[in-house]
Amino acid sequence: MASATLTVLEACEAAKRASRVLAGADTARKDGALERLAELLGERASAILDANAADLAGERAAGLTDALRDRLTLTEARIAAIADGVRAIIALPDPVGEQLERRTLANGLDLRKLRVPLGVVAVIYEARPNVTVDCAALCLKSGNAIVLRGSSYAERSNAVLGGLVREAVAEAGLPEDAVALLGGDRAELEQLATAEGLVDLVIPRGGEGLKQALKAVATVPVMFAAAGNCHVYVDAAADLEMARRIAFDAKVDRPGVCNSAETLLVSSAVAEQFLPRVLADLSAAGVELVGDDRTRQLAGDVIVGEATEADWDTEYLGLKMTVGVVESLAAAVEHVNDHGTGHSEAIVTGSEAAAAEFTDGVDAAAVYVNASTRFTDGFEFGLGAEIGNSTQKLHARGPIGLRELTTTKYVVHGDGQVRG
């Protein structure tokens, strides 16, 4: 695609110019581009799958874990789901121009607070090619240009998908430079993160290594869609069959994603009854288990290794789980706040008081009562898709959707007022 031959600076400069046009585009034109994108995903599915197969067969992908290969893999069903996500975004209200507040000041000035696009958003992401479309679609609908820097593992898949987005944008009469796709050169990270005046926000989707690398150099604002060291806590008042289903789903459904659970905490009041069954479930599904002394004592025939200090702080992104027994709800909350990354946390309980204590006490973007952590997702939350899940508190927290990709502008009308 054309943008792949540009330098980082050239791509950002072109995106900045395009962003000024896109900011003024009406909803119908933006939705038209997205509808054409959804159509192209269906029409070109075979080309997408061929590119993805080449990525999976590539030398770089050979060393990936099964969970990471799953994140890299596209199928006809997954391509259809990506297109469904684009159409879901079309159906959402356009946030640009939304009036958040209007009032007349004492001096007669008419003050309105409106949503406006951020400008140019740069997204740095790893081996999930669906992110190329999800992020581009969200940025286009919210009036932002986007610079995409994907992983070398998915270079062919990203190139085809990024090309389809640009094609759809151009067919809608919008500047195709509103979508730029860079290669996988790590030197580009610093260039993107220091492109002051061109890039308005950088959003990295990746692990702690990517986060720390950007923290060391960034001079433009960064909103981290960072690691998910998520927990499920089984309370003394839990329905234990429900807890088995939730703990199993949170770990096994898709272990390579950031909203999967890495740690299971169990109240000492139900540990003897609950742990042998859930550990057997997890072990049968291929989960490597490590735990504290109490967990290992109650494991029966299930092999549970000794958990290290590092295990409690690790996002495995695979079929491994740390299991611990806690003496109280307060201890569970303290453990989650000490070791979690602020992503998604869950309690299973039949007590409204316990649920309230957990949701009030846990510091995370999403907190669940009697449900799996796997629901922290823009599509599941009705946002169409997401750029990522922010674990920060400014300016957005949780799934980053359309409204999180806007800022505000005050528009003030007067009839000759002066301050002096």
Say what angle helices 155-171 and 45-57 make with each other, to 10 degrees.
Answer: 160
pLDDT at 5: 66
Q: For the chain, what percent of residues have pLDDT higher than 70?
A: 98
Task: Name the 3-class secondary structure at 291.
Answer: strand
Q: Are 171 and 40 in contact (CB under 8 A)?
A: no
Task: Name the 3-class secondary structure at 240.
Answer: helix
* Average pLDDT value for residue range 96-112: 98
Average the pLDDT over each of 58-67, 136-145, 271-280, 357-366 and give the range with the smallest value.
58-67
Q: For the chain, what percent of residues have pLDDT higher than 90?
A: 84
* Average pLDDT value for residue range 229-255: 97
- pLDDT averaged over every residue in the chain: 94
* Average pLDDT value for residue range 171-180: 97
pLDDT at 3: 47
Which residues lie below 8 Å from residue 150, measured CB to CB, with a gap of 6+?
125, 126, 129, 131, 132, 158, 181, 182, 184
84-88 contacts at long range (C-beta below 8 A, 24 or more positions apart): 85/133, 85/134, 85/137, 85/379, 85/384, 85/385, 86/34, 86/35, 86/37, 86/38, 86/41, 86/133, 86/137, 86/384, 86/385, 87/34, 87/35, 87/38, 88/379, 88/384, 88/385
Residue type present at position 101: E
pLDDT at 142: 98
CA-to-CA distance for 83 and 61, rounded, in angstroms? 25
Neighbours of 301 (CB within 10 A): 8
CA-to-CA distance for 116 and 402, rounded, in angstroms? 11
Neighbours of 320 (CB within 10 A): 19
Which residues lie below 8 Å from residue 63, measured CB to CB, with a gap of 6+?
none
* Average pLDDT value for residue range 112-137: 94
CA-to-CA distance for 44 and 308, rounded, in angstroms? 48
pLDDT in tens, 269-313: 999 999 999 999 999 999 999 999 999 999 999 999 999 999 999
Residue 272: both structure tokens together: 């003897």
pLDDT in tens, 204-238: 987 778 888 888 999 999 998 868 999 999 999 99
pLDDT at 128: 86
Q: What share of the chain is helix, strand, coil (3-state, %, to 5)?
A: 45, 20, 35
Q: Is the pLDDT of residue 330 over 50?
A: yes
pLDDT at 256: 87
Domains in the chain: ranges and CATH = 2-225+387-413 (3.40.605.10), 230-375 (3.40.309.10)
* Average pLDDT value for residue range 253-259: 92
pLDDT at 296: 98
pLDDT in tens, 376-413: 999 899 998 899 899 888 889 999 999 999 999 999 99
pLDDT at 184: 63
CA-to-CA distance for 80 and 239, rounded, in angstroms? 37
Q: Is the pLDDT of residue 30 over 50?
A: yes
Burial zone of 267 (CB within 10 Å; 0-12 exposed, 13-18 middle, 19+ buried): buried
Q: Is the pLDDT of residue 336 over 50?
A: yes
* Average pLDDT value for residue range 51-64: 90
**Which among 331, 349, 339, 358 is positioned nearest to 270, based on CA atoms?**
349
Q: Is the pLDDT of residue 4 over 50?
A: no
- For residue 116, how far is the Cα from the chain centroid? 22
